[in-house]
Amino acid sequence: MVRSAGREDKPCWARRLRSRMKGNGQPGNCQNWFLPKVMRIPAQRVTNWRSLRCALRFARAACTRRREHDHMNAPSGLALLHRYLFYGWLFRDASVGTSLERAAALEYNRHQSRWLPTYVVRWLAIACLLLAVARFCENTLASPLLSAPFYLFSTLIIAFNAVTLACWALLRSRW
């Protein structure tokens, strides 16, 4: 193999990865690059300081590209409230795709189930607040009709938490 000036026998690991990630070789077609893949560089792939320096330079550029577009994908106030109270956005549908995709989605859902107790605590706090308001309406205002919706919603929250805890237990048990 003929060595060119300033080049190694093997191309830089990050250059090979970059050419693979660009897909059809067109410049700027690197849509699926993200930083965690760079952080998992296997030690045997980085053979010298030059290739490591090249990989880190590419990682910095990819990280900068991601930060430029993060503000465009930021959820609005109502979407944040929805994400704060409901956990459906955390999980993937494990009923579609090939068997490998379904297994990957199930593993992802098992990993994300660690957040379910946090949502249970949030809803329990809301249920306690609703029960306190219902008690206040019933005792202080002497209006059982006014307290009925608060009791109803707190009962629904308790049922919602029971279902959430059952799903959490099933996902954690690795059935």
Count of residues in the chain: 175
Mean pLDDT, the chain, integer: 75
DSSP 8-state assignment for residue 13: H
**59-68 pLDDT, tens per residue?**
566 555 555 5
Q: What are 13-50's pLDDT values in tens digits?
A: 445 544 544 444 444 444 434 434 444 444 445 455 55
Identify the residue with better confidence: 93 or 49.
Answer: 93
Q: What is the pLDDT of residues 121-140, one digit of tens each?
A: 999 999 999 999 999 999 99
The full set of domain ranges for the chain reads: 13-73, 77-173
CA dihedral 36, 42, 43, 49 (to 10 degrees): -60
- Residue 76: pLDDT band by 50, 70, 90 thresholds? confident
Share of the chain above pLDDT 90, in %: 45
Q: Report the sign of the C-alpha dihedral through residues 62, 97, 74, 85, in that order.
A: negative
For residues 38 and 66, give the distance between their C-alpha atoms in angstroms, rounded to a whole number.
Answer: 14
Q: Is the separation of the CB atoms in 155 and 131 below 8 Å?
A: no
Question: In terms of Cα–Cα distance, which of 156, 107, 161 is closest to 131?
Answer: 156
What pTM value is reported for the model?
0.57
